[in-house]
Amino acid sequence: MIPSLPRPAWLRAATALYVAAFLLFLFLPLAVVAVFAFNDAPYPAPPWHGFTLDWFIGNETQGRVGLFRDSELLGSIWTSCIVALWVTGLSVAVGAANAFLMEREQFRGKGVLSMLMLTPLVIPGVILGISILAFASRLADLCTDLFGIEADFLRPGLPLVVLGQFSYIVAIATLTISARLKRFDRSLEDAALNLGASQTAVLRTITLPYLRPALIGSAAIAFLMSFENFNTTLMLVGSDAPLTIMMYGRMREGATPVLNAVSLFLMTASALLALTLMRRGKSQPS
């Protein structure tokens, strides 16, 4: 059970076996994705036909369009990045405002508001998507009927995708930033105020630097969640497909290993992001 209690040899062996099987289960799907990005065959399937970089750099003359020549795929990566940047900016800004609101201010209805802020996390993403889609369309129709204006940004498309993803990612940013603000020692601010600093100077030189790790952490999480979001995006997407939607479409058709190549690219990017964050976390305790 625990190290201080006697454990029979078979239990130790079983534990080691379980850990090994568990790790195999976790990493096998990722490993095959990575390996078949280099297979010299038109489909990501065994047997192994030898090593190739065609799925990264191949062009049409060879009959194999590699990742870096596939303008559709590259365009969708770019779309995902733009969407993710908007979602990240909005979520961190609004999340920080919410954190100050919930930790520093007193007002009527605070309990209800704090409850309401958590609800987006328990609403399935598909439902968030369709409710925003329906509501935005109603507003757009209203605009046309009342003023004769075509409000295109309220029709399915990237602005709605940003709003849809923001609607729940901001809840996560709020939780992350609030948690850190809660632990802040307010006597530091009082000391600075007593020494003659203005409110804005205190915010800029003391409170915000203290919040920095939480701001950076929530920005990274927001970017990643936006980039990987599928459910909400699927309902709100217009003609420009972000990467997850594009990949989904191709996976249904049975795609070439170029999808493995783009996946490997994503894995590397995620790993780098994770490593950077962990290093930051280590050099800055608490």
Partner 1 sequence: MAERAAGTRWTRRLVLALLLAPALLWLLALIVLPHVDLALLSFRERVAPREYAASLAQYRTFFGEPLYWHVFLRTALLSALATTLTLLVAFPIAWIIAKLARGRMSALLFVVCLIPFWVSETVRTLGWMILLRESGVLPAVLTHLGITAQPVELLYHDATILVGLVYTSLLFMMVPLVGSLESLDNALIEAAYDLGGKGWSILRTIVIPHAAPGITAGCIVVFMLTLGNYLTPTLLGGKNSLWFTEQIYTQFITRFNWEQGAALGFLLLALSTAMVWLGLTLSGQRFSDVMRRV
Can you read off the two tokens belonging to residue 88?
């990240």
Rounded least distance, CB 147 to partner 1, Å: 19
Q: Is 188 in the site for partner 1 (CB under 8 A)?
A: no
From 58-66, 184-192, 208-216, 222-230, span contacting partner 1 (CB under 8 A)? 222-230
**Which of 55/166 has CB closer to partner 1?**
166
Q: Is 13 in the site for partner 1 (CB under 8 A)?
A: no
Name the residue among 244, 221, 225, 226 with its Cα closest to residue 234: 244
**Which of 164/217 has CB closer to partner 1?**
164
Is the Cβ–Cβ distance between 161 and 226 less than 8 Å?
Answer: no
Options 13, 24, 27, 183; binder of partner 1; rule CB under 8 A: 27
**Residues between 113 and 152 that touch partner 1 (CB under 8 A):** 113-127, 130-136, 138
Name the residue among 86, 50, 61 with its Cα closest to residue 166: 86
Contact string 264-283 vs partner 1 (x = CB under 8 A): --xx--xx-xx---x-----
Q: Is 210 in the site for partner 1 (CB under 8 A)?
A: no
Q: Is 207 in the site for partner 1 (CB under 8 A)?
A: no
**Which of 59/199 has CB closer to partner 1?**
199
Residues 6+ apart with CB under 8 A from 274: none
Rounded least distance, CB 31 to partner 1, Å: 8
From 50-58, 100-108, 185-193, 208-216, span contacting partner 1 (CB under 8 A)? 100-108
Options 13, 20, 97, 191; binder of partner 1; rule CB under 8 A: 97
Rounded least distance, CB 97 to partner 1, Å: 5
Q: What is the size of the binding site for partner 1 (CB under 8 A)?
A: 86
Rounded least distance, CB 12 to partner 1, Å: 9
**Residues between 28 and 87 that touch partner 1 (CB under 8 A):** 28-33, 36, 43-47
Q: What is the DSSP string of the chain?
A: --TTS---HHHHHHHHHHHHHHHHHHHHHHHHHHHGGGBSSSSS-SSP--B--HHHH--GGGT---GGG-HHHHHHHHHHHHHHHHHHHHHHHHHHHHHHHHHH---TTHHHHHHHHHGGGGS-HHHHHHHHHHHHHHHHHHHHHHH----GGGSSSHHHHHHHHHHHHHHHHHHHHHHHHHT--THHHHHHHHTT--HHHHIIIIIHHHHHHHHHHHHHHHHHHHHH--HHHHHH--SS--HHHHHHHHHHH---THHHHHHHHHHHHHHHHHHHHHHHHHHS--
Options 74, 81, 85, 94; binder of partner 1; rule CB under 8 A: 94
**Which of 124/209 has CB closer to partner 1?**
124
